[in-house]
Amino acid sequence: MRRLLIMTDSTCDLPSAWVERYDIRVVPTYVQFGQESLADDGVQLTRKDFYRRLINTPIYPTTSAPPLGQTQAMMARALDEAEHVLAITAPAKLSSIYNTFHLAAKTLAPHRVTLIDSTQLSMGLGWQVLTAAEMAEAGAELEAIVAAVRAMQPRTHIWAALDSIQSLRSSGRVSWAAAWLGDFFKIKPIIHLHDSEVHSASRVRTTHRAFDTLIQLTRAAAPFSHLAFLHTSNPEGAQRLSEALADLYPQREIVTAEVTPVIGVHVGAKGLGLAVVRKS
């Protein structure tokens, strides 16, 4: 039996190669198109199909946390294979995913499950999960892994330039977005996710200005220990962004993630962003 297994949810946006390499257990969240409920697992719903449907569907999708039964089943399998499970999830302030994991652990073996609220989404969560997985493979003690993950959280930020405010307003997750008339004035919002809070970082009127503002915000926060480029059906923009910030890469491999559908529902298509962990 292994000493420790890492679990998370599908909002983490970790590349599949890393998930497989470290045997990370990823519980899928769900997207609903009307009465059709699809697992955000890359099989029932691929990113390509999701963003195509998001742009063309007359019925705007909604999202939901993993069912408790599915989460329990995946956690039970992990507990069969390891002495302890470390689960790192999306923020409790922004999603019910954390509570679902909490209930699953409580009904199974609470003394064998450690649960961490990441305070982040996408690769902001993903970097924490990867750090935990790398340390677990290297034989680090659970207490050291938890301390390292928690130490990353105040230094972890996401900045994103959205093509429209409409999806964020419709999500109901961000109170200040409901007051904006951004679409009417063709405003491009720049948002900042930190410590479980989504803030307005800037408002601009053109895609070009949004791109430049994203670069300025990123450079002002450097240097980084981790950096990932994010996009919602905008690979060309992500490539341009990575080229513009090439001198800031803290790792050899360029990490670019097309944001998972469950997050895409709330931020819309054609967005660009970065998930970073500052060095200090």
Residue pLDDT, tens place only, 6-49: 999 999 999 999 999 999 999 999 999 999 999 999 999 999 99
The 3 state secondary structure assigned to the chain is CEEEEEEEEHHHCCCHHHHHHCCCEEECCEEEECCEEEECCCCCCCHHHHHHHHHHCCCCCEEECCCHHHHHHHHHHHHHHEEEEEEEECCCCCCCHHHHHHHHHHHHCHHHEEEEECCCCHHHHHHHHHHHHHHHHCCCCHHHHHHHHHHHHHHEEEEEECCCCHHHHHHCCCHHHHHCCCCCCCCEEEEEEECCEEEEEEEECCHHHHHHHHHHHHHHHCCEEEEEEEEECCHHHHHHHHHHCHHHCCCCCCCEEECCHHHHHHHCCCEEEEEEEECC
| Residue 210 in this model has a pLDDT that exceeds 80 | yes
Domains of the chain: 2-154 (3.40.50.10170), 155-278 (3.30.1180.10)
Mean pLDDT of 61-84: 97
Mean pLDDT of 220-238: 96
Mean pLDDT of 143-167: 93
Give residue 182's pLDDT.
47
State the chain's mean pLDDT as an integer.
Answer: 91
Give residue 72's pLDDT.
98
Position with higher pLDDT, 260 vs 59: 260
